[in-house]
Structure 1
Amino acid sequence: MRHIAIIGSGPAGYYTAEAAQKLWGDDVRVDIFDMLPVPYGLIRFGVAPDHQSIKGVSRRYEKTALNENVHFIGNVRVGEDITVPELQSMYDAVVLATGAPNDRELDLPGKELSNIFGSAAMVGWYNGHPQFADLAPDLSGQHAVVIGMGNVALDIARILAKTEAEFEGADIVSHALQTLLSSNIRSITILGRRGPHQIMMTPKELGELAVLERASPRVDRDDLPEEEEDMVLEPGLRKSVNHLRSFAAIPESVHAEKPIEIHFDMFASPRAFEGDGKVQRVLVERTEVKQGRAVGTGETYTVPADIVVSCIGYRSSPIPDVPFDERAGKFANDGGRILPGIYCVGWAKRGPSGTIGTNRPDGFGVVDLIAEDLSSGVLGRSDKKGREAFDTLAKERDLDVVTFRDWKKIEEAEAAAARDGSPREKFVEIEAMIRAKG
């Protein structure tokens, strides 16, 4: 019998469990650990609350989770409640699938001013992550600046601009919804260092801006290259650039009809945050793209900003006893291998890149590595006890372990508490989750 511990219950974790089950069938036992009492990681806390169709992938993970040889072990902090060396003594392989939950810091003068947030914090706030439930962004001002040219920047701009009716069907948490509905934001500036041909935004997410009830997207025509230059782009990016061209063609009369403007300010690199205690402006330098890189021109100007959200990337969280690449913000690894018996997968392996689906081949790939190392004898003895050994330790340390059955009770309670038109009202405190499981 093979015993595998997976740390992290997001897409990478469950795809790895699915791969292990398909390879070894009844000859494997997989335990999926998570520091929170609830599973699904990025799906629950990262995907935008108004993108319920994307969140539907969790049904696939549930199919894997309900197999008898796969167990969810929630509310256990690896590195605190149990160490990685201890897990190694119990399991044939330990796979880190922890994702990249921390913001990459935008280290600029003025970063200490209030009302400046990273996207992980902001997204966690409106998605009900316990770590960010008390974030309390101040939306009393009129000007928001979102830094970044990826889909997360689009998500945040869209969420800031939506009406109450447009949140129908979303699982945005109530405390965030109420704050958003009382917002005074009237302009949202999306700052990007490079130009239209370098954006990381996908067509679907860009297209959503064109149909917002009270907001209109604006692109400066001068920022767009000649149309014939689009022909060298891959099809998805070409569609995205077409959306930007359509935004640039929106008549002023249409902009005038809507109270919120979402302005794409491209070739613009933030240089400092300015304000008296609280952010009031972003100092920006105009750039030009040379050989794919944004180069400053020396021309500067300011953009009004009563709140700033930086969407420039994410970092994994280091775990004691595991080599970590501080510069890259991920675990130090060679194609998924960290140390004998310790592996990583997904964003913990490659950094924050790719889509949710990218984690599936990643999960199958790391299981192939484990199989290779098992057959070659690299992983040593094969008499480890897996869950049996963990249960003994958990009892000794009085750990309040949450099982998948417990999670289903939490899920039922969230569904029962949902406001009209929402699939659930998430618990935002770990204590409340624990109480709900009974």
Structure 2
Amino acid sequence: MLLTVACCRFASSTASSTGPLRVCVIGSGPAGFYTAHQLVKRIDDVHVDILDKFPVPFGLVRFGVAPDHPEIKNCINQFTVLARKEQCRFIGNVGLGQDVGLAQLRPHYHAVVLAYGAEEDKELGIPGEDTPGVYSARSFVGWYNGLPEHRQLDPDLSGEVGVVIGHGNVALDVARMLLTPVSRLKTTDMCTHAIEALARSRVKQVRLVGRRGPLQVAFTIKELREMTKLPHCSTLIDPSYFHSIKSLLSELPRPRRRITELMLSVAENRYDYRGDKRPAGGKEWGLSFLRSPVEIVSSPTTGRLDSLRLEINKLQGTWDSAKVVPTGEFEDMECDLAIRSIGYKTVRVGRDVPCDPVTGIVPNVAGRVLDRNKSYIRGLYCSGWVKTGPVGVILTTMNKAYETAEVIQEDFRSGTLPEPERGDILEKLNNELGVDTVSFSDWENIDRHEVREGEKKGKPREKIVDLTQMMDIVHKSR
């Protein structure tokens, strides 16, 4: 998700006579750290330089994981151990395509790994998408998680009805943040500006809209179960969505069967779909299937969001390969807030960075980057979402990062990597390019400041969301 840079140098008894093998991993989120970790584990006498676009490391773990899921952030402990090792060096505040280009990095390394994630949202491409009151999930998540570029988002939460377009885990995260009691959020690392805004929020109903059916949802059962247990909040699902698929349940793979059975149970037994049994507080959320947004309608008087026009779909084919077929029938869903959560896409960060304009993926085979002629580019690799697209969870990212590290090791041992120039990249960044770099000890000073401020409010940390304030702490601590 974030454009960051991570570099690693390592040596082995099998290294060339010109010196230790050096590798640059561009991205210090999970993909970057897991790739670097495996390189350190696989190759003897390794030294790792880890650079990041921001003065703070950890990428999507810091800026993307929901505040009420702290257990998912435990991988930061492993990353910190790696960054503190004598073989490692963190260099923050360095952006690829901003402070340094790929062409400037490559001469310093035997291999470069692109692992900077997906930095932009996929768009619906429908009329009215820029209507006030419509937001992307990436910006909304970044707003409550302290991503500097979205700290000023200030979403309008004055209406009662919200719609989230998408049926993935991020969509559930967004809905959960809108409906969770603020008393719970106050004890998380959610930014104070977001907690204050959510405390004033009037949102009481959130509907998650997806273009496919119950058998094709992308969220996981853990997140769904968590949503069904929100205090003072109903889960409303129309049982009619399941009439035609009950007979298929026994044929489904176990994970898909379990999540479908949970949705069916909620729809049929737990709550009254007519909405006659709302709990105290009047909040509710629900799932709408087989609906594709075709237009966002604004109010003729205020110009703000008024409703979402949806085309009703049907599915053709088996559950795991079903195709969406529009029916030509439409319905309008009134709402005061709309958040699209249909995925992310990788952006091209320079002319010398390969990127498929359609998929947003760096062309590759098992992590080895391909040129326009589908030939390997010697010494260039990829990991994470630039390699696979924005799919899977952190465990998926870890496994794909291990695969990339393995092919680098293979190419290292076979002697196919290009020889780099001599010279420390840090010297080039500081002296030639004038970059105000940040060390891991500098980050730890920022970390201590955030933790101290959080303790005053009874929360794990109070994230700094302003880059200037981050750098002020760095400079004062030196």
TM-score with structure 2 length normalisation? 0.88
Matching residue of 1:343: 381
Within-5 A mapping of 1:14-413: 14-26=33-45, 28-225=46-243, 226-248=245-267, 249-252=269-272, 254-276=277-299, 277-291=303-317, 292-320=322-350, 321-338=352-369, 339-381=377-419, 384-385=422-423, 388-413=424-449
Asked if the contact 1:75–1:400 (Cα under 8 Å) also holds between the matched residues in 2, the reply is yes
Q: Structure 1: 5+ residue runs without aligned partners?
A: none
Matching residue of 2:374: none
CA distance in structure 1 between the aligned counterparts of 2:339 and 2:441, rounded to whole angstroms: 37
1:168 shift after superposition: 4.7
CA distance in structure 1 between the aligned counterparts of 2:234 and 2:90, rounded to whole angstroms: 44
After the TM superposition, which of the residue ranges 268-277 and 146-155 deviates more from structure 2? 268-277
Deviations 1:48-82 (A, max 9, x none): 11101111121111121111112221100111211
After the TM superposition, which of the residue ranges 336-345 and 8-17 deviates more from structure 2? 336-345
Matching residue of 1:436: 473
Q: Specify whether residues 133 and 369 from structure 1 end up closer, same or farther in structure 2 by C-alpha distance, changes over 3 A only.
A: same
User: Which amino acid in the other structure matches residue 428 of structure 1?
Assistant: V
1:332 shift after superposition: 2.4
Q: Specify whether residues 125 and 389 from structure 1 end up closer, same or farther in structure 2 by C-alpha distance, changes over 3 A only.
A: closer
CA distance in structure 1 between the aligned counterparts of 2:194 and 2:165, rounded to whole angstroms: 21
1:12 shift after superposition: 0.5
1:298 shift after superposition: 1.5
TM-score with structure 1 length normalisation? 0.96
SS of structure 1 residue aligned to 2:189: coil
Q: Specify whether residues 434 and 103 from structure 1 end up closer, same or farther in structure 2 by C-alpha distance, changes over 3 A only.
A: same
User: Which amino acid in the other structure matches residue 424 of structure 1?
Assistant: R
Deviations 1:221-245 (A, max 9, x none): 1011443321222222222212212
After the TM superposition, which of the residue ranges 222-231 and 106-115 deviates more from structure 2? 222-231
Deviations 1:16-41 (A, max 9, x none): 11111011131x32222211111111
After the TM superposition, which of the residue ranges 209-218 and 374-383 deviates more from structure 2? 374-383
CA distance in structure 1 between the aligned counterparts of 2:209 and 2:428, rounded to whole angstroms: 53
1:286 shift after superposition: 1.1
Deviations 1:316-342 (A, max 9, x none): 121211111110012222331222222
1:132 shift after superposition: 0.6
User: Which amino acid in the other structure matches residue 307 of structure 2?
Assistant: R
SS of structure 1 residue aligned to 2:364: coil
CA distance in structure 1 between the aligned counterparts of 2:425 and 2:181, rounded to whole angstroms: 52
Q: Specify whether residues 421 and 207 from structure 1 end up closer, same or farther in structure 2 by C-alpha distance, changes over 3 A only.
A: farther
SS of structure 2 residue aligned to 1:408: helix
SS of structure 1 residue aligned to 2:347: coil
Pairs aligned (count): 435
User: Which amino acid in the other structure matches residue 336 of structure 1?
Assistant: G
CA distance in structure 2 between the aligned counterparts of 1:391 and 1:214, rounded to whole angstroms: 57
After the TM superposition, which of the residue ranges 159-168 and 247-256 deviates more from structure 2? 247-256
Deviations 1:358-405 (A, max 9, x none): 1222222212222232333332225643xx243244223321111111
1:269 shift after superposition: 1.1
User: Which amino acid in the other structure matches residue 279 of structure 1?
Assistant: L
1:254 shift after superposition: 4.0
Asked if the contact 1:138–1:307 (Cα under 8 Å) also holds between the matched residues in 2, the reply is yes
Q: Aligned-residue CA RMSD in angstroms?
A: 1.6
1:2 shift after superposition: 1.4
1:256 shift after superposition: 4.5
1:428 shift after superposition: 0.5
SS of structure 2 residue aligned to 1:53: helix
CA distance in structure 1 between the aligned counterparts of 2:271 and 2:306, rounded to whole angstroms: 30
User: Which amino acid in the other structure matches residue 28 of structure 2?
Assistant: S
SS of structure 2 residue aligned to 1:122: helix
1:117 shift after superposition: 1.2
User: Which amino acid in the other structure matches residue 235 of structure 2?
Assistant: P
CA distance in structure 1 between the aligned counterparts of 2:138 and 2:162, rounded to whole angstroms: 17
1:210 shift after superposition: 1.8
Asked if the contact 2:117–2:384 (Cα under 8 Å) also holds between the matched residues in 1, the reply is yes
User: Which amino acid in the other structure matches residue 292 of structure 2?
Assistant: S
1:175 shift after superposition: 0.4
